[in-house]
Structures are given as C-alpha cells and as structure tokens.
Structure 1
C-alpha cells in the first residue's frame, strides 16, 4: 500500500535518526534539563528571532493544546475555535475534560474564523454571568482544511484579542507547510509579535515526535512546568526532544520539510484537476481534499491509503490526501496514472 493518509506515518528525517543514534549511550539529566534541550530551545529562539519567551518541548499536539489551554484559563473561562478546529473535532473532548468549554464557530468549509465572528461570540457572552467567559481564541495555521491565515487576518485577530483582553493561541502542527506555501505572507519571526502562545509542530514535520510550545506572554508561563508534571507530560528522557529540535532547526531544514511536502501535494492537486475532478477545499499546503465517485474511491483504496472526509452526495465523497517530507515523487506520479486508468 502507498499511504497518503497522514504526514506522520514514517519515522523521522534521516539526520534526526542519526543524531539520536550518535547520542544514544550518553548519560544526561532528565526532564528537559539536559544540554541538548538547551540547544534545541536556543535554536528555536534564534529561528523565531525572539529571545524573551518561554519554550517547552512536549510530545504531541493534543497534549500541547490540552496543557496550554487548561493552564492559561480559569475554570469559568472558554476558548473560541473553528468548528473544524483540531480541539473541536479530533481530540476526544480533551479540552472539555479539563473543564473548559470550546465555543465553536461555523466556517462554511474554509476552516478559518475572522474578527467579526469572534466579536459576535465575545459580545454575546461577556456581560452574562450565567455564561462562560471567552478568554482565548484558538486558530491553526494551516487550518484543518489546508487553508491559510494571511498576515492581515492574523493581525486583525491579534489586535481584537488585545483590545478585549483575550489570549491568542496558534496551533502550528503543520507550520512548516504554512511557511513554505506559495500563498503564505507570514514569516516565522512574526508569530511571536501577534500570538500570546503558539507551537511549532515537529511530529508532522519530520520528527519522531515533538512539539515546541512558545509562550511569548510571559505571565502565562508561570508554573507551566508544574502543569506539565501534573498532567503526565514531562518526558523523563527529555533529551530525545532536544536533540530532534536542535537538528530540525539547522539552517533552513524546517522550511525545506514543508517545501517538499507542499510540492508533492501540488503535483497531486494538478494531476487530479487535469483528470477532471473537483476539490473540496482549495489548499496550497500539504493537505488536499478531492471529490471522487464512490466507486472510484473504493478502487483506489485497494492500493492507496487516504482519509475519508465527508459524503458529498449519494454518488460521491470527499477524501483527504496528505503528503510529507518522505513522500516520493514516483508514488505521486503512480497515483495520477492510476486515477486516469482505473
């Protein structure tokens, strides 16, 4: 089987595996106090060009979202998110399980929320003490539908959050893909200016595992290590995270991971459109959403792995294809040829 199901099926970039093997027998202190974690955090701070921040290396995206939101918010405070957001759909109620309501906004298939949507929700809740209080806006770049926030959109949301005293938190699980997109106009060093916190994805961007949480609003970082410990998120062998991020942020390696994944996705998209099929969402990142007849999907499934997205009508459905740092050009070409002939 050839998999386009997700961007974490493979292990890790060869340089990551080499670095882990090279340091395998070294003895270091635990829980992120080791020299490699220090190097990894220094590399991240250099990449974002923002020294005065708190960086914590964590294992996975759901863990990072759960920790961040539950640590930042009081028990009666809520987070605003798109109805397609990861915390809304794919985290088994993790945020709600910590006692915080997710206020979901309908996005009409584009995966993005805007200032007016946020304003309406905030105004509805702010003066009624019977309701939860919106205190955070959660967005991801790219979104769960592969769409991107422009710099203008990010600035507008950031300014409104500052105006009313809400925090802006950005999920960067696939941030490498966003940065390398031909439609992107935000550089990595700009995220600290507009977000109270954001994380740089590693699991879906070439690492075995790992996400780098960056807290730029320093008052929010107080006691964060205790929260990670309390919720079982302190990795004893913390150096495994540090080594990986130190390698990932050598030169422009992180950008190149996203660039390759996007190029493979673009090739897929072009082939599907030329074959006469339609898109569910117009993505310029490594997630692509294709609408195929159900019988075609069934035949493709005998050779290719994909993610079922949604039923379009009785005869057709949308499926998601995802490319990664490891996607091979020959596999993409083979799929396009099979699509034409099946």
Structure 2
C-alpha cells in the first residue's frame, strides 16, 4: 500500500537526520536560544532580504496558527478566512477556542479577494458584532491553488487601507513558490504580508515551522505567547538545526520542486486520458475526478483521500506528492489508473 494521502508520511530528508546526529552531543542553550536556531534565523533573514523581521520556530502548523492569530487579535476581534481555509475546517476549532470568531466567505479557487473582504466589512459595521481584523490566507491553498504576486499585492493594499492584518499560512509555501505558475519570490513576502510562516513539516523536516513577523506592532512579547500556549520547546535546537539545513543551500526549494514535479507527472498523464479535475492546482496537491468504481479498485493498492462527491457515479480524490515520492511509484500509479479507466 503506497500513500498519496499527504506530504508528511515519511520522516525527514537524510541530510536533516545527519545534521541532527552530528550535533547530538554538543551542549547548547535551550528554548531556541541555541547557536543553531540563531544561525537559522539569520540565514532565513538573508533569504528573505529583510533583517528587521522576528522569526520564531514552532513545532506545527495548527499550533503556529493558533498562537499567532490569538496573539495578534484583541478579544473582540475576528479572523476572515475562505470557506475551505485550514483554520476553519481542519483545526478542531483551535482559533475559536481562543475566543476569536472566524468569519467565513466563499471566495474563488480557495482564495480571497478584496471584494470578499469588503463584503465582510460591510456586514460588520459596529460594536454589536465582532470586528473583522485579521485576514487569513494560505499559499498554496487547501485545494492546491496559489496566489499570484498581483493578487497578493491587491490584498495587501486593501488591508493597509482598512487597518487589517494580513497573515499567510505557509504550510505548503515551498510548493507554492516552486510552482511553474508562480511569480512570487520568498523575498517579496515581507513587503506583502504582516506575518507568514515557512512550512518545514510538509517539506522534508521532521517537525517545525518558521513564523516570520514583519509588522513591528505584532512582535512585542511574542515569546510569552509561545510559552503560555505550551510551544516553547526546551530542545528548540531541534528545529533550528533543521531549518539551517533546509536553507544553507537550495534544499528547501529542491524538495518542493520534486514534490511538484511528481504531482505534475500524474496530472499530465491524467489529462492525456481526458480525466477532469475538481480544481486547477499547480502545486503538489491535485484533485482528479474519477468513477467511484475506479476509486474502489485503486484503494486496494493506494491510500488517498476521497475529497468530494461530484455526482452519483463519480468523486474527486486528493493526491498529494512529497519530497520523497519516487518516480517509480508515480509511474506504477499512473499505469494502474490507466488500466482501470479502460
């Protein structure tokens, strides 16, 4: 049984494991004050070409989202998210549990636009309702789409005019930035969003996300928030070592590029077989629509999510490739799927 369910089924890239082993018996400070974490932070600042940001390493995406959003918002303020947003559907009410409402809008292709945001602002005019304050987006999105630079610039400008915080979930930021359709650079992000994180868990690390806080007003006392939420790891070096290894050369981008290429290989072959897709997703997540009978047969040898029922006879499945997905497994999957489609 080979899994296309997610991009974190494997452990970590061998270089990361080697780096952890080589530094294993070296003593250093705890709670992210170690030399490795500090070196990784400086390296990321160089990559994004901005040394005025604050960087914090947090173990996972849900933890990062809940700590950041709850820290950035006052008690009466709310977040805005597209209906397919991760914080809305797949984080067990983590944001709401901190006392902050999530205002959901339909959006398009998993993305938000200024028109969507204006509708929310118009619908919350006074103190009898929660105050929309933070705009949550993800890149790539929950359905594999990506934001263009112009789309992100429009959101940024709207948020600036309306005193909104623009926050980007970057669990699959590597995949977005390495997409063939992408025109964004990592160094663009500090100028376009107020905070974002660089996902390591889904791009070759064992654990870890690097939260980058760009707006000065959001930086104060942030380590207090991390500690209070139970996320200030005593052995914070474990994440620092991993992010240093990911960014000391192009490993982070090489791994994301490989994941995209494997997904693209499957997508290209399915398009040749005239298979339709639920969404346009130029990243490492694709959503082909298949007959239910074919899906049942594929599940004998492959694991994946059945994402959405399309009609009585067919459904969309989600296939996710990773930094470790082998070309041999991709070819085997394509061949079996083609046989089932005949």
TM-score normalized by structure 1? 0.98
Could you list the per-position Cα deviations for residues 88-110 of structure 1 after superposition, in whole angstroms to 9, with x for gaps in the alignment?
110000000000000011135x1
State the match for 1:123 in structure 2: 122
Q: Matched residues in 1 for 2:47 and 2:320: separation? A: 26
State the match for 2:23 in structure 1: 23
Superposition deviation, residue 144 in structure 1: 0.6
The one of 187, 190, 193 equivalent to 2:191 is 193
Q: Matched residues in 1 for 2:251 and 2:37: separation? A: 18
Superposition deviation, residue 202 in structure 1: 0.3
State the match for 2:161 in structure 1: 163
**Secondary structure of 2:233's partner?**
coil
State the match for 2:250 in structure 1: 252
Could you list the per-position Cα deviations for residues 134-177 of structure 1 after superposition, in whole angstroms to 9, with x for gaps in the alignment?
01101011111111111111011001111111100001101111
**Secondary structure of 1:279's partner?**
coil
Question: RMSD between aligned alpha carbons?
Answer: 0.8
Superposition deviation, residue 218 in structure 1: 1.6
TM-score normalized by structure 2? 0.98
Q: Matched residues in 1 for 2:156 and 2:339: separation? A: 49
Paired residue total = 340
Q: Matched residues in 2 for 1:79 and 1:49: separation? A: 28
Residues 107 and 113 of structure 2 are in contact (CA less than 8 Å); yes or no, is this contact kept in structure 1? no
Q: Matched residues in 1 for 2:56 and 2:6: separation? A: 25
Q: Matched residues in 2 for 1:37 and 1:308: separation? A: 39
**Structure 1: which 4+ aligned runs deviate by more than 4 Å?**
none
Superposition deviation, residue 270 in structure 1: 1.1
Could you list the runs of 5+ residues in structure 1 that have no partner in the other structure? none
Q: How does 1:162-311 map to 2 (within 5 A)?
A: 162-311=160-309
Superposition deviation, residue 294 in structure 1: 0.8
Residues 83 and 105 of structure 2 are in contact (CA less than 8 Å); yes or no, is this contact kept in structure 1? yes
Residues 275 and 289 of structure 2 are in contact (CA less than 8 Å); yes or no, is this contact kept in structure 1? yes
Could you list the runs of 5+ residues in structure 2 that have no partner in the other structure? none
Q: Matched residues in 1 for 2:11 and 2:248: separation? A: 19
Residues 16 and 245 of structure 2 are in contact (CA less than 8 Å); yes or no, is this contact kept in structure 1? yes
> Are residues 1:81 and 2:81 paired?
yes
Superposition deviation, residue 315 in structure 1: 0.9
